[in-house]
Amino acid sequence: PNIVVCEDAQAASRKVAEIIIATIAEKPASVLGLATGSTPIRTYELLVDAFRDERVDFSQATSFNLDEYVGLAPKHPQSFRCFMDDHLFKHVNFSPMRTYVPDGSAADPAAHAKLYDDEIRMVGGVDCQLLGIGHNGHIGFNEPGSLPDSRTSVVDLAELTIRKNARFFDSADQVPRRAITMGIGTILESRHIVLLATGKSKAKVVAQAFEQSPSVDLPASWLQTHDHVTVVLDNDAATVE
Ligand code: F6R
């Protein structure tokens, strides 16, 4: 991968925002793959600023989010759909018809997941996929044990993921146990993958993901098999102590 180390989280977020802006400048009808979590929040703020400064226009773009909790309806405040509305969509000019997030309230989540993959294919695939990385090496909600050819599907969350994500809920037992996630195979079909990681707590897993041979134990390590990956780190995430 192309590894870009930035001074701090602000500079790393700016770098990722600029990659997305450049993607859309080159191809206004780009398909963006988007992520939730703490890591991309600053990037989304910078994209909102850029939109207000007329430096980016999402009117022809399409977005597909990586994942959603099974059991949370789009309107649920902890749903990833709500997260995306709050942090990005309601502040910029995506066509509402073209922002896709898996529907956690789908009657048949497995069928919905399969359809999601078909929809990505139907629009021609993802041009630029933004990823974060979990402390256990997950990408999307592809937990350790995930195969490199997995497709969008319903998965069980790892215990660690449930504990970490409890910070967004009142307590850990309110965190859904299952999610719909783009598969690793789905993610690897994106033309350009941009992984953003910031902070000391991510340093070890980032080093493992890109320095050890790809393995099911560390899902992000499959990114080594892709020929256009940009890893954007701040100094903290780039330094193993
Ligand atoms: C979010 C996602 C997850 C996060 C990862 C890191 O859509 O798919 O893989 O990217 O859990 O989360 P943060 O950024 O909160 O550390």
Mean pLDDT (the chain) is 97
CATH 3.40.50.1360 matches 2-190+207-233: yes
The predicted-structure confidence for 135-156, as pLDDT tens digits, reads as follows 999 999 999 999 999 999 999 9
**Ligand 1 centroid to residue 216 C-alpha, Å:** 18
Hey, CA dihedral for 192, 198, 200, 202, is it positive or negative? negative
Instruction: Using alpha carbons, select from 185, 213, 197, 180 the residue that is nearest to residue 71.
Output: 180
Q: Locate the domains of the chain by residue range.
A: 2-190+207-233
67 counts as catalytic: yes
Q: CA 67, CA 132: separation in Å to the nearest integer?
A: 12
pTM (global) more than 0.95: yes
In this predicted structure, the answer to whether residue 241 has a pLDDT above a threshold of 90 is no
Question: Among residues 18, 135, 136, 156, which one is catalytic?
Answer: 136
Q: What is the pLDDT averaged over residues 81-90?
A: 98
54 counts as catalytic: no
Q: CA 95, CA 98: separation in Å to the nearest integer?
A: 5
Looking at the chain, the whole-number percentage of residues with pLDDT higher than 70 is 100
Any residues with CB less than 8 A from the CB of 13 and at least 6 apart, and which? 40, 42, 43, 45, 46, 196, 198
ipTM strictly over 0.95? Answer: yes
Ligand 1: residues with CB < 6 A are 35-39, 66-67, 132-134, 138-141
The predicted-structure confidence for 92-132, as pLDDT tens digits, reads as follows 999 999 999 999 999 999 999 999 999 999 999 999 999 99
**Ligand 1 centroid to residue 75 C-alpha, Å:** 20
